[in-house]
Homo-oligomer: A and B are copies of this chain.
Amino acid sequence: MSSTYGNRIRFSIFGQSHGEKIGCVIDGLPAGEAVDLEALYRFMARRAPGKRLTTQRRETDRPYVLSGLFEGRTCGAPLCVLIDNQDTHSADYDRLRDVPRPGHADYPAFVKWHGYQDHRGGGHFSARLTAPLCAAGGILMQMYERRGIRIGAHLYSVGAAQDLAFDPVNVTPEDLCAVGDDFPTLSAERGMQMQAVVEEARRNGDSVGGIVECAVLGLPVGLGGPIFDGLENAIAHAVFAVPAVKGIEFGEGFHAARLKGSENNDPYWMEGDTISLTSNHAGGILGGLSNGMPLIFRAAFKPTPSIAMEQASVSLRDRRDERLSITGRHDPCVAIRAVPCVEAAAALALADFCLPND
């Protein structure tokens, strides 16, 4: 497996943070699907750096489709999508080759790959690799929209500051579009408070964690499978591909552990001739299968490990204690730019279930 995902429809992500290009191959997509590259670019721009409160590393992140499109449509052949790495400052990482950054993969990657890993910017473990993830997810989401399936996420919290939540029963496609462009919250007012929390962390040379909430609308009933093939298995598997994710929950999630069955069960009722549920504590999933309600989950992001404050580390080769202050440009809160990454990861997880067999 490693950097590949999927069963019928396969995704293979490649590249390193400071390599020339990064990208992905998407194999098994249905043929004849138009791909709107401008819309894809607008989606990519949501995670692109250079915005307020995010790293100053400037990259256009304009994806380039090298193969798989013919006359603007998928042609059955695998898509290869490339994105340039620009404006990399590899020199920032020279010392880090020997001194692992706390909270990053540096040390276990050094051990796993016997010192041959590309350490620059975290190499293949860098959040930079979420760019091809978003490219793949953005392409899928265009195909889903034609099928009435919409995916949207927002920044649910940073530190103790919270945005509003999606209405688990009545969330609409419009609600998904109501997420802010500059700062991805449902409530602009709460967004201001949340930005203040991030600003303060930055001022202190520190960082802060956050939670992203995601909703998938329009899934037909019965998608998924038993035991290992449920929607929760698949979405969790894919969302943990986004760096810094340390937890995921569906519907009431961890709160369900505090509830009674009489509180947590979602009763059925006939809405005209349609079977519906009066509540959505399950987050739209029962026994791994979609139940017709909005699919809702939340992913918890740890604070950015790269901080300016001095930290304790070691020398991998000299085996002695070291002190480390990380220079370079880093997001004080990875969860902000992770919002479209979570949508993209969900899109990958749903591909085998939502797209036809071609």
Residues of A within 8 A of B (CB): 1-5, 7-8, 10-16, 19-23, 25, 27-28, 31-32, 66-68, 70, 73-80, 82, 100, 102-109, 111-118, 122-125, 129, 133, 157-160, 201, 204, 206-211, 221-230, 232-234, 236-238, 240-241, 243, 245-254, 256-270, 273, 275, 278, 281-283, 286-292, 300-307, 309, 311-314, 316, 319-321, 335, 357-358
Task: Out of B160, B243, B245, B320, name the residue touching A270 (CB < 8 Å).
Answer: B320
Give the Cβ gap from A273 to chain B, nearest Cβ, in Å. Answer: 6
Asked if A31 and B113 sit within 8 Å, CB to CB, the answer is yes
Q: Which residues of B contact A301 (CB under 8 A)?
A: 256-257
Q: Give A301 to B252 CA distance when docked, in angstroms.
A: 10
Asked if B117 and A259 sit within 8 Å, CB to CB, the answer is no
Q: Which residues of B contact A270 (CB under 8 A)?
A: 314, 319-321
Task: Out of B76, B103, B123, name the residue touching A113 (CB < 8 Å).
Answer: B76
Asked if B70 and A228 sit within 8 Å, CB to CB, the answer is no
Q: Give A62 to B138 CA distance when docked, in angstroms.
A: 32
Asked if A80 and B249 sit within 8 Å, CB to CB, the answer is no
The verdict on A273 contacting B75 (CB below 8 Å), with A226-B2, A253-B247, A278-B312 known, is: no
Asked if B7 and A209 sit within 8 Å, CB to CB, the answer is no
Asked if A105 and B14 sit within 8 Å, CB to CB, the answer is no
15 other contacts beyond A32-B113, A66-B82, A264-B303, with CB at 8 A cut-off?
A4-B228, A12-B78, A14-B25, A14-B79, A31-B116, A74-B116, A104-B287, A105-B288, A108-B291, A208-B259, A208-B260, A208-B261, A252-B302, A267-B313, A268-B314
Asked if A225 and B2 sit within 8 Å, CB to CB, the answer is yes
In this complex, what residue of B is CB-closest to A225? B2
Task: Out of B27, B314, B320, B358, name the residue touching A112 (CB < 8 Å).
Answer: B358
In this complex, what residue of B is CB-closest to A292? B108
Asked if B10 and A8 sit within 8 Å, CB to CB, the answer is no
Q: Which residues of B contact A269 (CB under 8 A)?
A: 312, 314, 321
Asked if B221 and A256 sit within 8 Å, CB to CB, the answer is no
Q: Give A204 to B240 CA distance when docked, in angstroms.
A: 39
Task: Out of B12, B82, B114, B316, name the residue touching A32 (CB < 8 Å).
Answer: B114
Give the Cβ gap from A40 to chain B, nearest Cβ, in Å. Answer: 18
Q: Give A116 to B74 CA distance when docked, in angstroms.
A: 7
